[in-house]
Amino acid sequence: MSTNAIKPQQWQDLPNGSWLQEAVEDKLASWWPKVFGYHLLSMGPLSASLEKPNLPIGREFSMVQQGDASLIGSYCNLPVQNGVIDAAVCSLLLDFELDPYRVLRETDRVLISGGYLFIIGFNPLSPAFIGKLLPKYQEQLPWCGRFFTPARVKDWLGLLGYQVIGDERLVYHHLLSNIYDESIWQHALQAWLPGSGSLYIIVARKLDTPLTPILDKQRVRRPNWSTAPTAGRTGHLRSHANKKEII
């Protein structure tokens, strides 16, 4: 996929976009009051358009590659100083970037220690993946993008030293037709295969110290000393042996 590939500029560019936006906003509503700080960075136009009620953040910056936003530039080279952002939101962004891990590394650079990172993406282990198998939809949004498994995204976060504190799925639908209301089979899919939601939301925090496994210190091998007999006991044994020889 090239960097010139089609990318969603608003939720309505996606099938059932308004439904997806509402579902994401509903899931994130309980997280916003937990985020404290001065600056929040919304990366991509979809992140900026999310409603963020009860967010105790002083100022929100929006970042896009082109268009109307607080910041204009590349997601791989953010025009932001190191460690000044308290929280960042990447909504349906990594799926359409050529180097998603580099985007995460750059986001990590600008986040403070303990900062929050919200990632929303399309789940390949879901009914939404059907569209990628059908030639009719392969060049359309969102199937023209790459779907990364939540496990892979969490592996990237682990390499960067993040602790995942939230991992949820939502929208149990293939998105190939309009969603008018949640059906019985959607409820059944959610009950029996809870990990098969078409969207995932991962919430992570940047740790002060990365979760790097520490090898146990090598134990000092103690010499295998044998118990030496005391001088008095040795003399007593020799004296007893001499008496036997005399007898």
Is 35 a member of any domain?
Answer: yes
Question: What's the CATH number where 16 sits?
Answer: 3.40.50.150
Q: Residue 212 above 60 pLDDT?
A: no
Q: Give the residue among 43, 70, 41 at the shortest CA–CA distance from 58.
A: 41
* Residues paired with residue 116 on neighbouring β-strands, in sequence order: 87, 205
Question: Which structural domain range is residue 167 located in?
Answer: 11-206
pLDDT at 245 over 70: no
- Asked if residue 88 is part of any domain, the answer here is yes
Residue 232 lies in a domain: no
Task: Fill in the amino acid letter for 46.
Answer: L
Cβ distance 166 to 31 under 8 Å?
yes
Average pLDDT of the chain is 88
Query: What own/partner pairs with CB < 8 Å and gap ≥ 24 does 213-218 have?
Result: none
Read off the pTM: 0.83
Q: What is the pLDDT of residue 216?
A: 47
> Is residue 116 included in any domain, yes or no?
yes
Number of domains in the chain: 1
Structural domain includes residue 43: yes
pLDDT in tens, 32-89: 999 999 999 999 999 999 999 999 999 999 999 988 999 999 999 999 999 999 999 9
Any idea which residue has 């891990």 for tokens? 101
